[in-house]
């Protein structure tokens, strides 16, 4: 039995396909993480992924949280939005017809922009450049859709 287990450990399992959602530009290799619970320090947020990035001298983080259905994603978005209303500063709702989106100042992460795209909640923390924020979020939303995760 031990040999059978050892043989399977040598198999090249590869990286989880969800990690391909993260854009490659600016990615700090080896920083991709899976969080089974307590995503963004919130006990209600589960099944999240994050990665660290660098653009020039600015370091920031991208994240996404996957759900089984849109209703669960709605609830996660609502929970985090309410948390930021209570503990963040300068919360601004930027929701459009396509998706809910807000930005705020988090005492720990700095600028946080969070959106919901179907069954996923995604966002970026610590980046103040609106054009880059939009570009990264668009890339992640597109890749989530391509993997049928939205």
pTM score: 0.86
Domains and CATH numbers, the chain: 27-146 (3.40.1000)
Contacts of 57 (CB under 8 A, 6+ apart): none
Task: Return the pLDDT at 95.
Answer: 82
Predicted local confidence at residue 7, as pLDDT = 58
pLDDT of res. 17: 84
Q: Which pLDDT score is estimated for 80?
A: 92
Average pLDDT of adjacent 10-residue blocks, the chain of 150 residues = 56 73 96 91 89 96 95 94 94 84 91 94 95 95 85
Concatenated DSSP letters of 22-81 = S-STTB-TT--EEESS-GGG-TT--SEEEEEEEETTEEEEEEEEE-SSHHHHHHHHHHHH
* Tokens standing for residue 47: 């099944």
Q: Is 90 helix (H, G, I), strand (E, B) or coil?
A: strand
Tokens encoding 128: 């103040």
- Helix (H), strand (E) at residue 86: helix 70-87
How long is the chain?
A: 150
- Which DSSP helix (H) or strand (E) runs through 112? strand 110-117
The predicted structure's pLDDT at residue 148: 80
Q: How many CB atoms lie within 10 A of CB 126?
A: 17
**Distance of alpha carbon 13 from alpha carbon 3, whole angstroms:** 18
């Amino acid at each position: 039995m031990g040999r059978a287990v050892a043989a399977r450990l040598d198999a090249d399992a590869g990286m989880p396909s969800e990690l391909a959602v993260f854009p490659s530009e600016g990615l700090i290799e080896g920083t991709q993480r899976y969080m089974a619970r307590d995503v963004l320090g919130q006990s209600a947020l589960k099944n999240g992924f994050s990665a660290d990035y660098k653009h020039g001298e600015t370091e920031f983080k991208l994240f996404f949280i996957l759900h089984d259905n849109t209703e669960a994603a709605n609830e996660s978005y609502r929970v985090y939005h309410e948390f930021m209303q209570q503990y963040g500063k300068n919360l601004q709702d930027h929701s459009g017809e396509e998706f809910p989106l807000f930005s705020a100042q988090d005492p720990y992460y700095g600028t946080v922009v969070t959106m919901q795209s179907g069954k996923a909640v995604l966002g970026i923390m610590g980046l103040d450049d609106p054009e880059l924020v939009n570009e990264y979020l668009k890339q992640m939303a597109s890749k989530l859709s391509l993997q049928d995760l939205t």
